[in-house]
Amino acid sequence: MQEPSDKALVPFVSVDHMMQLIHHIGVADMLRGLADYIEADFKRWELFDKTPRVASHSAEGVIELMPTSDGETYGFKYVNGHPKNTADGLQTVTAFGLLADVDTGYPVLLTEMTMLTALRTAATSAMVARTLAPKGAKTMAMIGNGAQSEFQSLAMHAIAGIEEVRLYDIDPAATAKCAANLAGTGLKVTQCKTAEDAIEGAQILTTCTADKAYATILNDNMVGAGVHINAIGGDCPGKTEIAPAILKRGDIFVEYPPQTRIEGDIQQLDADHPVTEIWQVLTGQAQGRTSDKQITIFDSVGFAIEDFSALRYVRDRINGTPFYHPLDLLADPDDPRDLFGMLTRAKG
């Protein structure tokens, strides 16, 4: 049996190793680190290949590939979104991702991304809220208390300075689950019986619901002046959360307009409705919040550069740790022109 060469081995981060890595770093520190990597990559936005994700839709959900490259490193994520899965005891979202060296095409990292996507989504939300939310914002309404809710709450606490989270879900068991998981984290947690109760006194309103439907989680009369809306549940065609009237009253910030106009809440608006790309705010090329009474809306659908940033972060942080397996992923014959010879020599 031939032993794999060093070039054949690719670091693979399993779910178990990812969880160990998170605890090794600390959840809050990892969220802050991811936010810093994402912000740094957004600030060099123009270097990246950009394309809307490649999506395969069905009645039950969607399977997507999300690729990008900065010219030196290539990355992609495989991810699905199937809201009905929870009824069968399955995750709504699962994912894995890969980084590769552009010069050779050789992969340099393969990793689970179900856990990592939850972290990067929350880190992105909090990084943007730090930029757009009203100054001194301390309270967030978390509407939709599924798998992402704890990550969003902890990221807003660690990155945007939120001290209280007000929870609401149509399923009280989901709210109780979220509240129990957030106990002892330093956040004040309030369980609410309606969405209206949840947004009372909140300066940041996060919506994160799973149904693949034209839903209205926030009605126009629920949202007053001077708030930041973090809309992350609407992420594919036919799936929305925010009433069009709110969108028309607010200033909308997005990751990548060609994707968000198809998948985000702004799919409800005219194709030429003005939006601002968040990378332009981060680089000082566009304004963010300009007044205390302004409604800012981050219509976030998730974009490949955020995953690229998360993959970069993990690649850098596993160096010198035991939190990965060397995976025999690549055929690496002594003579690169003799792949068949390698196969022959492996017999018996």
| Positions marked active-site | 235
DSSP label at residue 169: -
Check if the beta carbon of residue 284 is closer than 8 Å to that of residue 233.
Answer: no
Dihedral sign of CA atoms 61, 54, 74, 277 in order: negative
How many other CB atoms are there within 10 angstroms of residue 63's CB atom? 15
56: CB partners within 8 A, 6+ apart: 62, 63, 64
- In a 10 Å sphere around its CB, with 0-12 CB exposed, 13-18 middle and 19+ buried, how is residue 202 labelled? buried
**Cα angle value 122/200/121 (rounded, 5°):** 5
Q: What is the residue-wise DSSP string for 18-69?
A: HHHHHHHH-HHHHHHHHHHHHHHHHTTGGGS-----EEEE-SS-EEEEEEEE
Q: Which residues lie below 8 Å from residue 37, measured CB to CB, with a gap of 6+?
A: 309, 310, 312, 313
Q: How far, in Å, CA of 65 to CA of 113, rounded?
A: 13
Rounded to an integer, what distance in angstroms lies between the CA atom of residue 3 and that of residue 187?
Answer: 51
